[in-house]
Structure 1
């Protein structure tokens, strides 16, 4: 893992800088600067109080926190959110409460997402009449299997019990 220098501006003087919880972590924790309560199915845009300047050839990706997902059903609507190298505004996180019954409450300073900085390539797109073949071809959207609905017939043709 190599280090990259990222310039950061605190828009809220009391907000902590993003930090890595453990050595080797890919994501640095982002916190919210506001209190918010989301009912079941609701979403909100939460500010983080920071803006960054990434070097050309890099992007930052805002990922959900697995603990929030497992404990409270919280995720990000556009996971991962993309912060382009040229963006200089405040990083904001679009959270959603997927829990069908319980609200979730965020307090100022709560960790709400992770910021992952990655080197990215720019593509040169070349239009062609036909694409070269591959073993997968146009198979997608579950074409390799791996999921069976509850009550579906098993491989021997019997219903699972």
Structure 2
């Protein structure tokens, strides 16, 4: 599969899919961002893509994002659908700073993967579910 990509910045490394290493691809800040604790910012990621029909991208923080930068993704997970593919549709990363922080151009701040859309289905309303109860939300323990 080939995916058309537009770079909005020449200051970030080009994206690479490393087959066999990870299903996730790092995204980088395309701008220098200085945030104070409590600040919100849409950080430019410097790329836009034309995803194939029937596919979408999931954007999430890297495992080191909070440790390194003290930021949280405000929408928990980003979904980029195939229709967000216009010439000016640059991907961005919405963050909330939990401490004062500095993000430099080209810092790896999040990651994405491309997946197929969910198969279609219908809901069937029932009076009761027949499987064994697991004890409710959060009941599987800590171990």
Same fold (TM over 0.5): yes
For 2:90, the equivalent position in structure 1 comes to 90
Q: Give the match for residue 120 of structure 1.
A: 117
Are 1:146 and 2:139 an aligned pair?
A: no
Q: Which has the higher contact order (CA 8 A, sep 6+)?
A: 2
Query: What are the ranges of 5 or more consecutive residues in structure 2 without an aligned counterpart?
Result: none
List alignment gaps of at least 5 residues for structure 1. 148-161
CA contact (8 A) 1:73 1:98 kept: yes
1: CA distance between counterparts of 2:53 and 2:135? 34
Say if 2:43 is the partner of 1:7: no
Choose 1 or 2 for highest CA Rg: 1
Between Structure 1 and Structure 2, how many residues are aligned?
Answer: 140
Given the alignment of the two structures, is residue 109 of structure 1 paired with residue 142 of structure 2, yes or no? Answer: no
Coordinate RMSD, CA, aligned:
2.5
Q: Deviations over 1:4-44 (max 9, x none)?
A: 42211122344333235785112111112211112223221
Instruction: Quote how far apart the aligned CAs of 1:92 are.
Output: 0.5
Return the TM-score normalized by structure 2. Answer: 0.80
Q: Which moved more, 1:113-122 or 1:45-54?
A: 113-122
Query: Given the alignment of the two structures, is residue 47 of structure 1 paired with residue 44 of structure 2, yes or no?
Result: yes
